[in-house]
Chain A
Amino acid sequence: MAADTSQSVVKAADDGVGNDSAVRGRSRWTDSGNTGNTRNTGGLRRALATHWYAWAMVAPVVLVLGVIIGWPLVRGIYLSLTDANERNVARDIGARHIDATYEFIGLDNYAAVLGDPVFLQRLVWTVVWTVACVSITFVLGLTLANMLNRQFRGRAAYRMALILPWAVPGFVSVFAWRFLFNRDNGILNKVLDGGGIAAVPWLDDPTWAKFSVIAVNVWLGIPFMMVAILGGLQSIPGELYEAAEMDGASAWQRFRHITLPGLRTVSMTVILLSTIWTFNMFPVIFLLTRGGPGDSTEILVTQAFREAFITSPRDFAVSATWGVLILLLLMIFALVYRRSLRKQGEVW
């Protein structure tokens, strides 16, 4: 088995599939030339001899991931199949140790969560939230990046100002926004009041709260998007624009046929990253609205958190169930995304 895989060769930067198979072929050929006896163990030993340092190098990460991610993951999946909650898990009260008394109950939690209309509500809002945030952030980031990609006075200053939201830790910014959004005392409402407009319940009305959390997340997300796209823009050769201009292409045509295709790789990457981040964006929702008012801005991850740490009694099993479901959704997303990349001939 191991003999079939390629040698641990130093990989050239532009190493592709062709190169890989060539190496593989050579290693096979040496195999048959040298090992007449016990092909399998010989191959394994040779694999160990050629790969041992690569394996040794990745060993710490594999070990650590196995212990602190693999094991909890398995346990989390197991917990989702039990009725574990605050009252029956192993715990210490003072000096007394109480053993776990929760039991295996099969898929009951999944049936309960999926059977509850709450799941669909959360899922729909999470998807709306993710799509809205990512698309608005992307469009605004693209617009600003295109503006910043020109030569003009004050460009560096604008750039500094525009990436500021990224430089401040997210939870600090969220509190800053909570301060601005404050219904009675926030500056936004005071300014509106000065203009004779009634106070807007930014965080106290389900619809406005949805608007507000999306606005804050877009505000937080634009700098990364903008800087990444700006990097992509600067890698598009200027000659292309020159040639297009010679051929009489309008500004829109140049944007449509040079800029957008040139940004494809970087766009795919930032959209993927940003989708995953937004889908899992806990702090914005949790710190801005706590999922409220009521449960109107609760997304899937905050719901899982709420089950385990806010509601009483804390329901660990149901929270784990939400967690597993969220992970499944993300895996499906990743597979679909990967397939669509494959179709376009890219490996990742």
Chain B
Amino acid sequence: MTTTRTRTRGSRSPFASFGLHATLVVASVIAVFPVLWILLTSLKPAQHAITTDFVKEPTLSNYTYLLESSHFLDWFLNSVLVAGVTTVLGVFIAATTGYAVSRFKFPGMKPLMWTLLITQMFPMAILIVPLYNLMGQLGLLNQPVGLIITYLTIAVPFCAWMMKGFFDTIPVEIDESGRVDGLNPFGTFWRLILPLAKPGLAVTGFYAFITAWGEVAYASAFMVGEENLTLAGGLQTFVTQYTSNWGAMSAASVLIAIPAAIFFVFAQRHLVAGMTAGATKG
């Protein structure tokens, strides 16, 4: 295989090589520029936010403004709370199901699989109105609990589906050895499979976290009042029809993006494997 590789590489003409690099450079610039631009803008004084200079009087004033005179910290904590609890509950509720549909055949399995698949395609449009009314009746609008319950409608089917994919990658021989040693299915799951599936659980959890972290529709509809917003709602308050505080907006964007980006560097390989594995293997 190595020989093939070297040969193909050797056979690439300088012209093709230039084309390859040129295309990739252009694509990379397009991919990076918006993010980079926000980062640079966040470091400019707010009144210079719309200049085209890459760097202009670098300052952290946008960040201090954000932390001291806006509700950013409230939003951040709201988001951490909502996304964190959603993740823990989602993974916890869905783990055994992921295992069961990965390993057993039982009556009701096919319908369950279909339900899990279909609920993932559910547009928020079908659930948002009834959930809004229900939360209203239960007094949970504007409460983190309401948003957590709502996000579980997304997280649970997704986590179950994704963990099925991860459990599928663990050889069944391990289950068999557990049975031979006299463990019941719960024991096998708890003592043998779960420890092996930890990376999968982590990735599933992180992904559930990111999904809740970036959710816009429910958060915009259910949460009102400056201090109750999550980040997705809060960011919208900087740039409205009437005001555009691009400086604060860009600083907030950077602070929101950093935790998410750090995680992605570690987890993205497993993400695609998890998502596509579940969908391709029955």
* A interface, CB within 8 angstroms of B: 2, 5-13, 20, 23, 47, 51, 53-58, 60-62, 64-65, 68-69, 72-73, 75-76, 79, 84, 89-92, 143-144, 147-148, 150-152, 154, 158, 161-173, 175-180, 182, 185-187, 190-191, 219, 222-224, 227-228, 231, 238-239, 241-242, 245, 265-266, 268-270, 272-273, 276, 279-280, 282-283, 286-287, 300-301, 304-305, 308-309, 316, 319-320, 322-324, 326-327, 330-331, 334, 347-348
The secondary-structure label for the interface of chain B is helix
Q: Of the candidates B20, B172, B246, which one forms a contact with A11 in the assembled complex, judged by CB atoms under 8 Å apart?
A: B172
Report Cα–Cα, A270/B271, bound state, in Å: 13
**B65 close to chain A: CB less than 8 A:** no
Write the chain A residue with the least CB distance to B137: A90
Contact call B35/A319, Cβ cutoff below 8 A: no
In addition to A20-B105, A186-B50, 19 A-B residue pairs with Cβ atoms within 8 Å of each other are A2-B107, A5-B107, A10-B175, A51-B107, A55-B106, A60-B93, A60-B96, A68-B149, A72-B127, A72-B130, A72-B153, A166-B268, A176-B38, A177-B34, A185-B50, A227-B271, A286-B220, A320-B130, A323-B125
**B156 close to chain A: CB less than 8 A:** yes
Scoring A54, A75, A161, A180 by chain B CB atoms within 10 A of each residue's CB, the highest score goes to A54
What are 15 A-B residue pairs whose CB atoms fall within 8 Å in the complex? A6-B105, A57-B97, A58-B96, A61-B93, A90-B133, A158-B28, A167-B265, A176-B253, A219-B31, A241-B4, A276-B121, A300-B123, A304-B128, A323-B129, A326-B126
> Interface range on chain B: under 10, 10 to 19, 20 to 34, or 35 or more?
35 or more
Q: Of the candidates B28, B97, B106, B121, which one forms a contact with A162 in the assembled complex, judged by CB atoms under 8 Å apart?
A: B28
| Number of CB contacts from chain A to chain B under 8 A | 329
Q: With contacts A61-B160, A168-B260 known, is A179 near B37, CB below 8 A?
A: yes
Contact call B126/A323, Cβ cutoff below 8 A: yes
A95 to chain B, nearest CB (A): 12
Contact call A228/B4, Cβ cutoff below 8 A: no
Contact call B156/A64, Cβ cutoff below 8 A: yes
Report Cα–Cα, A166/B121, bound state, in Å: 20
At the interface with chain A, which of B69-77, B195-203, B272-280?
Answer: B272-280
**B250-282 near A? 1/0 per residue, CB < 8 Å:** 100100110011001100110111011001111
Q: With contacts A167-B260, A179-B246, A320-B130 known, is A348 near B282, CB below 8 A?
A: yes
Write the chain B residue with the least CB distance to A179: B246
Report Cα–Cα, A37/B103, bound state, in Å: 32
What are the 4 A-B residue pairs with the smallest beta carbon separation, nearest first? Answer: A304-B125, A167-B264, A161-B28, A323-B126
Contact call B214/A91, Cβ cutoff below 8 A: no
